[in-house]
């Protein structure tokens, strides 16, 4: 099996970690809610349910994304990760709406909060679990260029912030006796969750729209090609896009027209190998052109001029 495919397949273990953490925190937070009757802790438990749905979706999409290329998907299945992160963002919005509705109802009809001490202890325990898992997922997402794991990590981190906000609200109620502080804090937390959901969906849409590689990756490409430029080789018609963990780069390489096919081929092989060394998940496509031929400079855009569609042999 291809090494990259093996690495992608191994990412499902992180999704399983997220699933187990979600089930554990749902149980803990639900107990805390029933003990305290806090709408803030209810919103916290509700978001953990959304976390579980997101983790299951992440597992499914990571499994699909790890499949090798086939006749119907010659570029692989990496874009499946964008569906996962998109759904994750939508689930975050749903959680925020649920929290907002519960907050408004409790603001209109405030209820006393019971057994604050044990409720706070239980909520802190659940938050610590989510914090640790979020850090693990985020590091794995960065290491393996997985937008799914990054989205799941951000989602879990919103849960941590939710719990922090809830604890502030519950603590404020305990200190002031003003019961409406509980739903007010929960409503503010819902607003922060909406912001996170928006950013997750935005990243997902950018990927589905074939957004160019990050500036950092493009700078790495240009630095790698620097020594070749110094030797007189020219480059143009750069096109880049990100598809899940895969990075796609294409460009034209201009060399002296009197080079042999063998010389040109050896140069392209070396350039592509250098880029794969600095960007492990990159797919490079190159096109060789004679540096002296004027026509080499007329096809640098993605849409070639009509006059170049058919080139008659001399």
* The three-state (H, E, C) secondary structure of 190-258, written as one string: HHHHHHHHHHHHHHHHHHHCCCCCCHHHHHHHHHHHHHHHHCCCEEEEEEEEEECCEEEEEEEEEECCC
Has residue 173 been placed in a domain?
Answer: yes
Indicate if 10 and 146 belong to the same structural domain: yes
| pTM beyond cutoff 0.75 | no
Q: Is residue 314 part of a domain?
A: no
Q: Please tell me whether residues 34 and 181 are part of one structural domain.
A: yes
Going residue by residue through the chain, which has 314 residues, state the pLDDT in tens, using 9 for 90 and above: 445 545 556 788 888 998 998 898 888 878 877 877 766 667 667 767 777 877 888 888 888 887 888 888 887 787 777 777 777 778 777 777 777 777 787 778 776 666 667 767 777 888 888 899 999 999 988 888 787 788 788 878 877 877 777 677 777 777 777 777 777 777 777 777 787 778 778 777 777 777 888 899 999 999 999 999 999 999 999 999 887 778 899 999 999 999 999 999 999 999 999 999 999 789 999 999 999 998 888 877 777 665 555 555 55
Cα separation, 250 vs 239, in Å, equals 5
Instruction: Quote the number of domains for the chain.
Output: 2
Tell me the residue range of the domain where 274 lies.
215-308
Domain boundary (174, 208, 242) is at: 208
Last residue of a domain, one of 173, 208, 243: 208
Q: Where among 208, 223, 245 does a domain terminate?
A: 208
């Amino acid at each position: 099996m291809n090494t990259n495919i093996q690495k992608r397949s191994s990412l499902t273990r992180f999704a399983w970690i997220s699933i187990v953490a979600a089930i554990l925190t749902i149980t803990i937070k639900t107990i805390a809610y029933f003990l305290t009757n806090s709408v803030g802790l209810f919103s916290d438990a509700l978001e953990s349910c959304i976390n579980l749905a997101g983790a299951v979706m992440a597992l499914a999409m990571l499994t699909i994304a790890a499949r090798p290329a086939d006749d119907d998907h010659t570029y692989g299945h990496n874009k499946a990760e964008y569906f996962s992160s998109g759904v994750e963002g939508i689930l975050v919005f749903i959680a925020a709406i649920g929290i907002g509705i519960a907050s408004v109802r409790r603001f209109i009809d405030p209820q006393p909060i019971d057994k604050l001490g044990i409720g706070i202890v239980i909520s802190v325990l659940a938050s610590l679990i989510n914090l640790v898992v979020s850090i693990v997922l985020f590091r794995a997402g960065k290491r393996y260029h997985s937008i799914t794991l990054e989205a799941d990590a951000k989602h879990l981190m919103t849960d941590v912030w939710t719990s922090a906000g809830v604890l502030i609200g519950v603590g404020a109620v305990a200190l002031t006796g003003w019961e409406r502080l509980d739903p007010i804090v929960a409503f503010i937390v819902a607003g922060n969750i909406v912001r996170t959901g928006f950013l997750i969906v935005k990243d997902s849409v950018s990927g589905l729209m074939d957004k160019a590689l990050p500036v950092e990756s493009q700078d790495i490409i240009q630095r790698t090609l620097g020594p070749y430029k110094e030797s007189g080789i020219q480059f143009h018609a750069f096109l880049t896009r990100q598809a899940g963990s895969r990075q796609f780069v294409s460009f034209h390489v201009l060399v002296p027209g009197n080079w042999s096919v063998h010389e040109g081929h050896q140069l392209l092989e070396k350039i592509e190998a250098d880029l794969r060394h600095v960007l492990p998940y990159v797919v490079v496509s190159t096109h060789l052109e004679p540096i002296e031929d004027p026509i080499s400079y007329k096809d640098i855009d993605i849409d070639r001029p009509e006059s170049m569609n058919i080139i008659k042999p001399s």
